[in-house]
Chain A
């Protein structure tokens, strides 16, 4: 047979490509659920690490921790807010929010949807875990920050990266860097402020942490991304901790209106999952 004729070549390549496509399609669909489960678990892990759970005392990852169980036990509520601090209904914070596309909305000044995970700690304290995503030196960086219910004190933070330089920028994912965020304040002289990553050392500043030496660009990127995202979360954070609640907002405690504001108490538990 003439294997160099046009007809043969076209038929040969067509059959080959169809067979290969069928094999790949089969493999992709057969493995999809496992891959998705892996991705979900990795996300749960970072969220829980932000709240200092599943960590050894020095802040590194406890390899034996069951992050899915931790997540299911401690994340009592997950919801989505917009830049005005209002809860967006009908959106699943865990499944529906793609931080990358929200980041591009944020940069363009378009409407953003911000995920908030409410985590009940072992001692009953509630912290809100907020997301962050940005551009590092070589690739994406992302992370989560847990904020105490005074909406000002940082409980913990975690960062990860796609391709920062090993030994330099990649250190943002190491305990020595992210444990610094614990106890920092989201305020500067009474004004709302992001936590800054300061080159040359924070010297015990209330809202600053030490940058990584040799990784100025990555440190700066963490600082900038935090500023952008916390800026977007500002309404959510300050709206709830402000001494003077805005009209229509409720200052309820334990489901009872304290009477200092207008509005009803039914908004107290903004629980999109449990309400259903």
Chain B
């Protein structure tokens, strides 16, 4: 199997920073690392599993209803994930609210199915889906790390900025309220894209 399948989704064709897909959820669920992590895993499971199933079915799917068949399979996995979270991680499920259901509208999933899974064997499709999900998740985690650290002073809910630094305790530090709001996610995302493009020169347009 071509090793590009493993590496490209993380850097050269990263779904968020290069293809600019899945931006909506990367702004909405990156206030806390926990939410971002669960979202990243959910999207990875959905892309990997639906790529696998649709790749297995690829020679039987009637071409005229191709997109609908894809939707049905993706929707099934999304609903299963939603149900599982409600049963086993209720607080996280409440925190992510509608965004779990909205995974179905994440362009990365349909994009990978159309572009890759329908023309490749099941195992490479599964790996391609998983790596794209993880490439998406990687950016989510990076953004959430800065937003949670600077916006709430915590990481995974644990206080990391000493309480004595805070203004109300006689210190000098204050959480940045703007970090919690979506516009700051977009700005951090922009910075990530900027750093990536200045390192990977082949991404720069002439």
| Interface hit among B16-24, B39-47, B84-92, B189-197 | B84-92
B68 at the binding interface (Cβ < 8 Å):
yes
How distant is the Cα of A39 from the Cα of B86 in the complex, in angstroms?
9
B180 at the binding interface (Cβ < 8 Å):
yes
Total number of B residues with any Cβ neighbor in A under 8 Å: 28
Chain A residues whose CB sits within 8 angstroms of the CB of B73 once the complex forms: 16, 20
Known contacts A31-B83, A35-B87: A3-B72 contact under CB 8 Å: no
**Contact between B90 and A9, CB atoms less than 8 A apart:** no
In the complex, per-residue mask of A125-147: 1 if CB is within 8 Å of any chain B CB, else 0: 00000000000000000000000
**Contact between A9 and B181, CB atoms less than 8 A apart:** no
**Contact between B86 and A3, CB atoms less than 8 A apart:** no
A243 at the binding interface (Cβ < 8 Å):
no
Q: Whose C-beta in chain B lies nearest to the C-beta of A63?
A: B157
A42 partner, pick from B64, B83, B90, beta carbons under 8 A: B90
How distant is the Cα of A3 from the Cα of B83 in the complex, in angstroms?
34
How distant is the Cα of A24 from the Cα of B73 in the complex, in angstroms?
11
A267 at the binding interface (Cβ < 8 Å):
no
Total number of A residues with any Cβ neighbor in B under 8 Å: 25
**Contact between A12 and B83, CB atoms less than 8 A apart:** no
How distant is the Cα of A27 from the Cα of B76 in the complex, in angstroms?
11
Closest chain B CB from A52 CB (angstroms) = 21
How distant is the Cα of A28 from the Cα of B86 in the complex, in angstroms?
11
Chain B residues whose CB sits within 8 angstroms of the CB of A17 once the complex forms: 72
Closest chain B CB from A16 CB (angstroms) = 6
**Contact between B97 and A4, CB atoms less than 8 A apart:** no
B2 at the binding interface (Cβ < 8 Å):
no
Interface Cβ pair total, 8 Å cutoff: 66
| Interface hit among A106-114, A163-171, A251-259 | A163-171
**Contact between B90 and A27, CB atoms less than 8 A apart:** no
A162 at the binding interface (Cβ < 8 Å):
yes
How distant is the Cα of A12 from the Cα of B65 in the complex, in angstroms?
10
A9 partner, pick from B31, B62, B87, beta carbons under 8 A: B62
Chain B residues whose CB sits within 8 angstroms of the CB of A20 once the complex forms: 72-73, 75-76
Closest chain B CB from A59 CB (angstroms) = 15
In the complex, per-residue mask of A23-41: 1 if CB is within 8 Å of any chain B CB, else 0: 1100110010011001101
Pairs A–B under 8 Å by Cβ, sample size 14:
A3-B60, A9-B62, A12-B69, A13-B62, A13-B69, A24-B79, A27-B79, A27-B83, A28-B83, A31-B83, A35-B86, A165-B181, A167-B151, A167-B180
Besides A31-B86, A35-B87, 8 more A-B contacts (Cβ < 8 Å) are A8-B62, A9-B64, A13-B69, A16-B72, A27-B80, A27-B84, A31-B87, A167-B151
The interface of chain A, by Cβ under 8 A from chain B, is: 3-4, 8-9, 12-13, 16-17, 20, 23-24, 27-28, 31, 34-35, 38-39, 41-42, 162-163, 165-167
